Chain A
Amino acid sequence: MPFWICNKILFTVHLPITHALSLPRIEKIMAATVAAAAAIASPLKCGGSFSSQSSPFSGSTRSFHWRNNEKQNVRKGGRGVITAKIDLKPPPYSLDALEPHMSRKTFEYHWGKHHRAYVDNLNKQIVGTELDTKTLEDIIVLTFNKGDLLPPFNNAAQVWNHDFFWESMKPGGGGKPSGELLELINRDFGSFEAFVNEFKAAAATQFGSGWAWLVYKANRLDVGNSVNPRPSDDNKKLVIVKSPNAINPLVWDYSPLLTIDVWEHAYYLDFQNRRPDYISIFMERLVSWEAVSSRLEAAKARAVEREKEEERNKTEYEEGDEANPEAVEMYLTSDAEETDD
């Protein structure tokens, strides 16, 4: 089905979405954004169900529902105006809980100033725009814009990254993982020690500002209609990646499991230039393997869910074509004179 037909379908279906208090311009922006997304979407997937519409943004860990914008972060402002407000979440422990490995002073600045500034600046940037009611992850993927970063990306990604980082640590952390996580680590890195060495090396060699990550990579290509002909659990691997500045693995469609912040502000008060010492202390004393394990469970469940959905869409699309060959013909004929916007 030519993509401009999908354009039409999407356009027609989605106009009524806009909520009661939206301004007219939001409708226009949404329609334009939807059309833009559809234009990028693979034509072959156009007939599929809308909930798994293959926009390039299905890379977020929550699938991008154009119709059911999750308004978890929407708060009512004064005078009945709905404004989105991303929150500054506190770490799941007190600011001095990670002493002496990561000082209270560091938290006062790192969480209290840096993280807070990302949250405040993001809210300023998105208020009154179509990003206003999106989830943080959706904002990140949207503003990543396939690498052509839009202004809110830096703040949005950094808010997410820091939430994820605080939750990657705990008082009395460190030690070794266990259970399935340890099994996968042994399978994909050879041994826990080999994993630690590779992770430390990635963190130490991320030049300038950035992050190092352990991610769960469910084998996917960044092409809308790609299908692994022989999917198996072996294709789903643990991988270590590093990223500059605010970039995070959500934009590569990976599921992050663990991160370490290697921007200098993360360690300079406690370690000055000694980044390798900071990294070692992080691994030995701070990592919350419980958090990593539960993220792994969630990531695996998501991967299974996504595979099932893709199977469903594939079947629906094929059935749809067979069920309505005349319908397709009809569209082709009647829309022959349509011009693209």
Chain B
Amino acid sequence: MAVRALVTRKILRAAPLGFRGLQTFSLPDLPYDYGALEPAISGDIMQLHHQKHHQTYITNYNKALEQLDSAIAKGDASTAVKLQSAIKFNGGGHVNHSIFWKNLAPVREGGGEPPKGPLGWAIDSHFGSLDALIQKMNAEGAALQGSGWVWLGVDIDLKRLVVETTANQDPLVTKGPSLVPLLGIDVWEHAYYLQYKNVRPEYLKNIWKIMNWKYAGEVYEKECP
């Protein structure tokens, strides 16, 4: 299943907002069926998560961008600044979920297979073992109050792996400008509630069975050659 482009460019002459075309966004296809990640994550959750939650972030992000574009064109600084939280919420939601879908893979397509190569070695060297990394991420994910994400990232300046959490839909980069996400786990309740209810630790335990380490490794090798 081809991944549709994340971006569609509005044709210049149709754009109602000046000569710059405003890029708006559309929902990317999942690289697998909704049910393909079972039993770790149910098809119901995948469908709601993708078609409702992610789509809503995109819809609201596009709306905020149009309002921002208009405010900038008019020189309305106050409105431009006021829109920043909507941009961060919804744009962050779009960015984070786009990464999340690529972080997961059905078992038959390699989901759950441990990392090899440079990322595997970096994990062993920095955390001691893959298991230790997983324990750490699960502990931080379980302890996160409210809504947010737990990340495995790489600091491209220090050439170091990091485990971080972010609140709400804050992207990893809000924790450090040189941080690039390799894997993110959504710990908003919508990510697991229908299946796991209040037992977030169980969701965290099971999601590693469908973790797409191949994708994480590719990003790592690209950012830290």
Contacts and interface: CB of A to CB of B under 8 A. Distances in A.
A272 interface: yes
A113 interface: yes
Given A109-B198, A209-B147, 19 more contacts: A207-B168, A208-B147, A208-B167, A208-B169, A244-B146, A245-B145, A245-B146, A246-B145, A263-B146, A263-B189, A264-B147, A264-B188, A268-B189, A268-B190, A268-B193, A269-B193, A272-B52, A272-B190, A273-B53
B146 A209 contact: yes
B197 interface: yes
Interface string A307-335: 00000000000000000000000000000
Nearest to A110: B198
Nearest to A153: B145
Interface in A258-275: 263-265, 268-269, 272-273
Contacts of B147: 208-209, 264
Contact of A113 (B89, B148, B198): B198
B81 interface: no
B139 interface: no
A333 B84 CA distance: 57
Interface residues of B, number: 20
A265 B189 contact: yes
B48 interface: yes
A259 B186 CA distance: 27
Contacts of A10: none
B194 A208 contact: no
B161 to A, nearest CB: 27
Contacts of A273: 48, 52-53, 56, 190
B176 to A, nearest CB: 21
Nearest to A116: B198
Interface of A: 109, 113-114, 117, 154, 207-210, 244-246, 263-265, 268-269, 272-273
Contacts of B198: 109, 113-114, 117, 265
A265 B193 contact: yes
6 contacts: A208-B167, A208-B169, A208-B188, A246-B145, A264-B188, A273-B52
Given A109-B198, A113-B198, A117-B198, A154 B193 contact: no
A265 B199 CA distance: 11
A264 B168 contact: no
Interface string B197-218: 1100000000000000000000
B41 to A, nearest CB: 15
Nearest to B52: A273
Interface string B63-74: 000000000000
A143 to B, nearest CB: 13
Contacts of B146: 208-210, 244-246, 263
Contacts of B167: 208
A154 B145 CA distance: 8
A205 to B, nearest CB: 9
Contacts of A109: 197-198
Given A209-B146, A263-B146, A269 B53 contact: no
Nearest to B193: A268
B1 to A, nearest CB: 24
Interface string B92-118: 000000000000000000000000000
Contacts of A208: 146-148, 167-169, 188
A264 B193 contact: yes
Contacts of B188: 208, 264
Nearest to A273: B52
A269 B198 CA distance: 11
Given A207-B168, A209-B146, A269 B56 contact: no
A273 B145 CA distance: 20
Interface in B120-171: 145-148, 167-169
B197 to A, nearest CB: 5
Contacts of B48: 272-273
The 9 A-B pairs of least Cβ separation, nearest first, read A264-B189, A209-B146, A245-B146, A208-B147, A208-B168, A273-B52, A113-B198, A268-B193, A209-B147
A207 B89 contact: yes
A272 B188 CA distance: 13
A273 B198 CA distance: 17
A3 B194 CA distance: 55
Contacts of A113: 197-198
A87 to B, nearest CB: 20
A225 to B, nearest CB: 35
Contacts of A117: 198
Contacts of B53: 273
A182 B4 CA distance: 53
Contacts of A265: 189, 193, 198
A245 B48 CA distance: 23
B33 to A, nearest CB: 20
B12 to A, nearest CB: 34
A36 to B, nearest CB: 25
A64 B203 CA distance: 42
